[in-house]
């Protein structure tokens, strides 16, 4: 009996599609976590979770825009590295700024805030490692 070779069609996402999928999944996760906190602990916990998730999500959006704004055809290796470094700097700076603003000027519950932040970060790692088997 001869063996039949079945080729699996492997779909690949572009870098922009991967970034959008990750951002969308993180946003869904943050909303789901905030909803869970709302039902378990009330409005203040849900608001804190939204702020914590936002502290991760907004800088990630800024990073993605910075890195993906240039087309690959016109980019040099040096410009890609420069975009990643500047994107990382923007992400770090905006994360620090958002933490300072939220913790100094808003009344938040720390457990929901840090839980949502950590889950959004974990979602980033998981999706980065699994989408397109790139990493």
Give the residue-averaged pLDDT of 82-89: 89
Of residues 37 and 78, more confidence is placed in: 37
Give the list of residues 6+ apart from residue 86 with CB closer than 8 angstroms, or none: 66
How many angstroms from the chain centroid is the CA of residue 71? 21
- pLDDT tens for residues 35-70? 999 999 999 999 999 999 999 999 999 998 888 886
pLDDT at res. 30: 96
Answering whether pTM is above 0.85, one says no
Sequence spans of domains, the chain: 15-133
Contact 115, 49 (CB under 8 A): yes
């Amino acid at each position: 009996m001869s063996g039949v070779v079945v080729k699996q069609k492997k779909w690949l996402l572009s870098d922009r599609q991967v970034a959008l999928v990750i951002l969308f999944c993180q946003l869904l996760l943050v909303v789901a976590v905030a909803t869970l906190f709302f039902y378990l602990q009330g409005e203040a916990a849900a608001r804190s979770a939204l702020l914590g998730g936002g502290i991760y999500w907004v800088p990630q959006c800024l990073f993605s825009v910075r890195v993906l704004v240039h087309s690959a055809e016109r980019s040099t290796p040096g410009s890609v590295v420069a975009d990643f470094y500047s994107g990382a700097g923007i992400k770090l700076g905006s994360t620090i700024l958002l933490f300072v603003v939220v913790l100094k000027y808003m009344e938040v519950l720390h457990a929901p805030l840090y839980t949502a932040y950590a889950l959004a970060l974990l979602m980033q790692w998981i999706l980065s490692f699994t989408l397109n088997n790139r990493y």
